[in-house]
Amino acid sequence: MSLISFLIALAFVVLAQGASVGQDERLRYDNYSVYKVKFETQEQRSFLKKFVEDRDNFRLWQETKDELHLMISPGAFSEFESQIQKTNVSAKVFIGNVQELIDSEDEANLKASRDGSFGWTKYNSLAEIYEWLDGILATYPTITESFVLGQSYEGRTIRGIKISYKANNPGVFIESNIHAREWITSATATWLINEFLTSTDELVRNLAENHDWYIVPVLNVDGFVYTHEKDRMWRKTRQPSDISTCVGVDPNRNYDSHWMESNGASSNPCAEDYGGPNPFSEPEIQAMADYVSSNKDKINVLLAFHSYSQLLLSPYGHTDEEFPPNFDDLMEVAKAYADAVESLPYGTTYRYGSSAGVLYFATGATIDWAYNEQGVEISYTIEFRDTGRYGFILPPVHIIPNAEEALVGIAALIDKCQELGYLELK
């Protein structure tokens, strides 16, 4: 073999192995692209999902009713193209080089870090969030209270904050960053905490003081740390599998409610939506479930923050033939959120519907478990910005606009809940 052909072969091996590890030991995504693949039939969808499921060269980013968003390594483009032709679907690239977005995000984070350790012009690490939380708890000792959901698989503490200005308020629970790479969620949750405590705006004061807030800024703590230190694109938990070398479970498919029914999660440990070996296999999800079930009488509304797609999703996730008893109310409340967000100068639009109706079957998710098993009648998944320009790597300049949208959206949602009688004490 000549030197040239050896080098070509070597380059091919490196590309074929998928993301490479750089000097700082973080996975690099040089020339990885993300495609929107439009399908028409469920057979096409199942085929494509199966095709990418346990392959290093492909990763599922997002799926909607008629689209899959797939990240593809540069070494797998030709294989991808031939599958596209074979399946007879159309594909369009929307991110040309994932690493470029990660690099700009790193730069923005570095620049903001020079001006101080915590803020909303960058994405903060778990250590920074927890240190900031300690500061908040020390500054507002009578209004705030620290709580602990439990310990993660790797032994990290999953922390929450309760904000309560007076007795007998209805309760709102906010779960955030259950999916590790969805950084905009914890950025938004921490911004909301700050607003509830410091804003002088009348709308915010009413919202903050007349409700009890239970906020968990980072639920999937192990996955979140892993996205900061090793792999920006990690989604799942970090517990190893007994039956596979693939690590982690999709925590938002791990709750014990219609678990694994209707193909609402994958049984393949390598899939991004792997439901786990059994419901509540993940200590983080068991901890969350224990906390919510022992406080369910205090929780009127549960919101689970996710990204991306700009959607409000209500139960059910397991069927699109049946709808929850208060579905009309759930849609009216969701519309209030979407209208409020759209009325801001940004003009961002949100769609809404049931998970199974708008998206696809998804079972074992937080909101379905809270609704079906715990009687939390108002529960939504909120998928934040954007619709795919940046996807999970949303530039930090979007943090405050996105958080402002969440604030006015939640205020309108809560108002509508009040009007419809969902904020009575249980």
Query: How far apart are alpha carbons 160 and 158 in whole angstroms?
Result: 7
Q: Pick between residue 45 and residue 236 the one whose CB is nearest to Zn ion.
A: 236
Least separation in angstroms between residue 40's CB and Zn ion is: 25
Q: Pick between residue 152 and residue 169 the one whose CB is nearest to Zn ion.
A: 152
Which 306-325 residues touch Zn ion, going by CB under 5 A?
A: 306
The window from 60-68, 176-184, 275-283, 415-423 that contacts Zn ion (CB under 5 A) reads 176-184
Interface with Zn ion includes 253 (CB under 5 A)?
A: no
Interface with Zn ion includes 385 (CB under 5 A)?
A: no
Q: Pick between residue 71 and residue 197 the one whose CB is nearest to Zn ion.
A: 71
Per-residue H/E/C for the chain: CCHHHHHHHHHHHHHHCCCEECCCCCEECCCCEEEEEECCCHHHHHHHHHHHHCCCCEEEEEECCCEEEEEECHHHHHHHHHHHHHHCCEEEEEECCHHHHHHHHHHHHHHHHHCCCCCCCCCCCHHHHHHHHHHHHHHCCCCEEEEEEEECCCCCEEEEEEECCCCCCCEEEEECCCCCCCHHHHHHHHHHHHHHHHCCCHHHHHHHHCCEEEEECCCCHHHHHHHHHCCCCCCCCCCECCCCCCECCCHHHCCCCCCCHHHCCECCCCCCCECCCCCCCCHHHHHHHHHHHHCHHHCCEEEEEEECCCEEEECCCCCCCCCCCCHHHHHHHHHHHHHHHHHCCCCCCCEEEEHHHHHCCCCCCHHHHHHHHHCCCEEEEEEECCCCCCCCCCCHHHHHHHHHHHHHHHHHHHHHHHHCCCCCCC
Q: Pick between residue 235 and residue 296 the one whose CB is nearest to Zn ion.
A: 235
Q: Pick between residue 306 and residue 318 the one whose CB is nearest to Zn ion.
A: 306
- Is 145 among the catalytic positions? no
Q: How many residues bind Zn ion (CB under 5 A)?
A: 2
The count of other CB atoms within 10 Å of the CB of residue 57 is: 20
Least separation in angstroms between residue 182's CB and Zn ion is: 5
Q: Pick between residue 28 and residue 398 the one whose CB is nearest to Zn ion.
A: 398
Q: Pick between residue 272 and residue 377 the one whose CB is nearest to Zn ion.
A: 272
Least separation in angstroms between residue 306's CB and Zn ion is: 3
Residue with tokens 């997002």: 62
Least separation in angstroms between residue 143's CB and Zn ion is: 30
Interface with Zn ion includes 179 (CB under 5 A)?
A: yes
Which 279-308 residues touch Zn ion, going by CB under 5 A?
A: 306
Q: Select which of 53, 272, 383, 405 is catalytic.
A: 383
Least separation in angstroms between residue 181's CB and Zn ion is: 8
Least separation in angstroms between residue 52's CB and Zn ion is: 18
Least separation in angstroms between residue 179's CB and Zn ion is: 3
Q: Which residues bind Zn ion (CB under 5 A)?
A: 179, 306
Write out the catalytic residue numbers: 383
